[in-house]
Amino acid sequence: MTAAERTQVIPVGAVTREPTPVRAEPTPLRSEPARAETDYEPDNAEETKPKKKRTGLIITCAVVVVLALAAGAVFLVPGLAEKLGIKKGEAEVAIAPPPAAVQFTPTLHGAGADNPAPTPAGVQAALAGPASDAVLGSLTGKVIDPISGEVLFAQNADTTLVPASTTKLLTSAAALLALPHAEQLTTKVVAGDKPGTVIIVGGGDPTLSSLPAGKNSVYPGAAHLDDLVAQVKAKGPVHTVLLDLNRYTGDSLAKGWEQPDIAGGYIAPMVPAMLDGGRADPTKDTSARAANPGRALAEEFAKRIGATVPEKNATTIAKPDAQVLGEVRSAPIVELVDNLLQHSDNVLAEAMAREVAKGTGNEVSFTGATGAVLKTLTDNGFDVSTVKLNDGSGLSTLNLVSAALLAEVLRVAAAPDGQDPRTAKLRPLLGGLPVAGGSGTLASRYQGPNAAGGKGWVRAKTGTLSNVNSLAGVVLDKDGRVLVFALMSNGSNPADARPALDAVAAALRQCGCR
């Protein structure tokens, strides 16, 4: 054994034993008699109980020994200390003082009424170039400061043009004003007149998902068909499935719609019960749609439950007091509005327009829906005297809307809290607007040099048809002031007009405009 080892070994017998403390006689509790001396622990209690303390001490000593041996080995094993870069008797390594704190000056400014306000002259100067681009054809537009209500820019703003999908702003606004935001749409299955016959009762929800639980379609939060099937199956055997589509009346296609848009994946015939908005692929926004989405739902339900749908006479009207065998609910209205704005979903927009009609006591058809949307806006103080609507989605080429109306709806939605009683109901419009270069229908836009400055700052609803392009939303300028805008272009090529409209909105972001 080496000298180094001998100096580190501490024999177990060398541990000094602590003296046994003198025990004071305990004071007896009132509730129990004093114990006899024989009840106390014996004098050798230290030999029986405190062994844990001694064991801990021994382990501690052993750890010290191991560490010391390891430390000694570093210097005793030839070359090991040098390999580790350690020199015997080396002084402690000097630790450099921490660097000075980084001075951070924020470049982002929060939106607020205290931020510098742009002037009409400043905004008009900023937009003079982008708004005069010839590729925009006939351009109308309006820019408003929602805090002050001041009009900062107006170009033929009261002229009505074909709006395309910016129509959805009007439909969504009417839905948020007329319907409870937490309301949900219900799809039910009730018992038919004959045993084994069931009836799917359409409740206006086009988002019912064909996917299994845990997988999302293009409609987040949608109810699942499998859930409905399981509820009905638990009530007994089913051999025949029928449909009640009585919630809607009138034509299933609007004036101004084109039949190829169904196969093209932009629209489905409007019925109050369908799967995935009638899509062939429930995970894609644009996917071929079913020509008869109601029957497609019934057949899929029948397939999963082990029943059939009659070739003829598959529709009926369920009795009001029919036994409910199962029901599922959609996401709340406010979430459906958010979804239809983000992805410009035509079917969902038409469903919302019809719910406005039903909620206000009007006929649940295209005529009743568009009439109910306009009346709801009128009743809430919006001037719709020059507006013409044939649908709620903007797919119709016969719609006519002004930039002034779109901008005014957004102005109210973006107004300061408490300034306008309509604002609280319309505020969700802003959250549903796609983000430039980031989400929804604006995800792939704002990439060019003239528009890149608006990326991440512009939020807007898009609109595109042949020779029709529109953009309406909000933007935070460089001084942190929120501005609302509406831009409409007719007689323009979408490939050229869309980046040109993006450049106009980006110019609003780039200026303080004073």
pLDDT tens digits, one per residue of 217-232: 999 999 999 999 999 9
**Angle (CA) 453 458 459, round 5°:** 160
How far apart, in whole angstroms, are the C-alpha atoms of residue 463 and residue 406?
12
Say whether pLDDT at 191 is over 70.
yes
Residue 499 gets which letter from DSSP?
Answer: H
Residue 344 bears catalytic tag:
yes
Percent share of the chain, pLDDT over 90: 75
Kindly state the average pLDDT of the residues 387-415.
98
User: In terms of DSSP H, where are the helices of 77-182?
Assistant: 80-83, 120-127, 167-178
Specify which residues 316 forms β-bridges with: none
Name the strand (E) or helix (H) holding 260. helix 260-263
| Angle (deg, nearest 10), helices 333-343 and 167-178 | 170
Residue 186 identity (one-letter amino acid): T
User: Which of 65-69, 167-171, 378-382 has the least mean pLDDT?
Assistant: 65-69
Per-residue pLDDT of 454-463, as tens digits, reads: 999 999 999 9
- Contact between 375 and 383 under an 8 Å Cβ cutoff? The reply is no
Which tokens hold the place of 465?
């048809």
User: How far is CA 430 from each of CA 28, 190, 407, 412, rounded to the nearest angstrom?
Assistant: 75, 39, 12, 11
How far apart, in whole angstroms, are the C-alpha atoms of residue 405 and residue 232?
47
* Exposure string for 312-344, b = 16+ CB within 10 A, e = fewer: eebbbebeeebebbbbbbbbbbbbbbbbbbbbb
How far apart, in whole angstroms, are the C-alpha atoms of residue 223 and residue 210?
9
- How crowded is residue 15: how many other Cβ atoms within 10 Å of its Cβ? 12
Radius of gyration, CA atoms only, the chain = 37
Say whether pLDDT at 393 is over 70.
yes
Say whether pLDDT at 88 is over 90.
no
Residue 51's pLDDT is 43
Residue 112's pLDDT is 63
How far apart, in whole angstroms, are the C-alpha atoms of residue 413 and residue 169?
11
The residue from 142, 165, 455, 492 that is catalytic is 165
Say whether pLDDT at 74 is over 70.
no
pTM for the model: 0.79
How far apart, in whole angstroms, are the C-alpha atoms of residue 352 and residue 369?
9
How far apart, in whole angstroms, are the C-alpha atoms of residue 463 and residue 388?
16
Residue 95's pLDDT is 79
Per-residue pLDDT of 20-67, as tens digits, reads: 443 333 333 333 333 333 333 333 333 334 444 444 444 444 434 434
Beta strand extents in 85-185 (DSSP E only): 138-144, 151-155, 160-161
Kindly state the average pLDDT of the residues 185-212.
98
Say whether pLDDT at 341 is over 80.
yes
Mean pLDDT, the chain, integer: 85
The residue from 209, 330, 344, 393 that is catalytic is 344
Residue 2's pLDDT is 40
User: Which of 88-97, 332-341, 366-375 has the least mean pLDDT?
Assistant: 88-97
User: How far is CA 119 from each of CA 116, 189, 205, 353, 505, rounded to the nearest angstrom?
Assistant: 10, 59, 46, 37, 16
Residue 117's pLDDT is 87
Question: Which band of pLDDT confidence, cut at 50, 70 and 90, is reported for residue 79?
Answer: low
- How crowded is residue 87: how many other Cβ atoms within 10 Å of its Cβ? 10
Say whether pLDDT at 293 is over 70.
yes
Residue 88 bears catalytic tag:
no
Residue 102's pLDDT is 67
Question: Which band of pLDDT confidence, cut at 50, 70 and 90, is reported for residue 158?
Answer: very high
Which tokens hold the place of 148?
């002050």
Name the strand (E) or helix (H) holding 489. strand 482-490
Kindly state the average pLDDT of the residues 432-453.
96
How far apart, in whole angstroms, are the C-alpha atoms of residue 205 and residue 350?
11
User: In terms of DSSP H, where are the helices of 15-159?
Assistant: 45-48, 51-76, 80-83, 120-127
Q: Which residue did the predictor score with more confidence, 264 or 2?
A: 264
Residue 55's pLDDT is 47
Per-residue pLDDT of 260-289, as tens digits, reads: 999 999 999 999 999 999 999 999 999 999
Strands 205-208 and 273-275 turn out to be parallel
Question: Which band of pLDDT confidence, cut at 50, 70 and 90, is reported for residue 110?
Answer: low
Kindly state the average pLDDT of the residues 488-499.
95
Q: Which of 266, 242, 228 is nearest to 391 (CA)?
A: 266
User: Which of 101-105, 182-186, 369-373, 417-421 has the least mean pLDDT?
Assistant: 101-105
Q: What's CA 494's distance to the chain center, in Å?
A: 28
The residue from 142, 168, 461, 478 that is catalytic is 168
- Report helix, strand or coil for 45: helix
Burial class (CB in 10 A: 0-12, 13-18, 19+), 146: buried
Residue 53 bears catalytic tag:
no
Say whether pLDDT at 248 is over 70.
yes
- Report helix, strand or coil for 70: helix
Say whether pLDDT at 412 is over 90.
yes
Residue 111's pLDDT is 63
Say whether pLDDT at 491 is over 50.
yes
Helix and strand element counts for the chain (H, E): 16, 13
Residue 50's pLDDT is 42
How far apart, in whole angstroms, are the C-alpha atoms of residue 513 and residue 3?
85
User: How far is CA 219 from each of CA 171, 332, 452, 473, rounded to the nearest angstrom?
Assistant: 18, 12, 29, 23
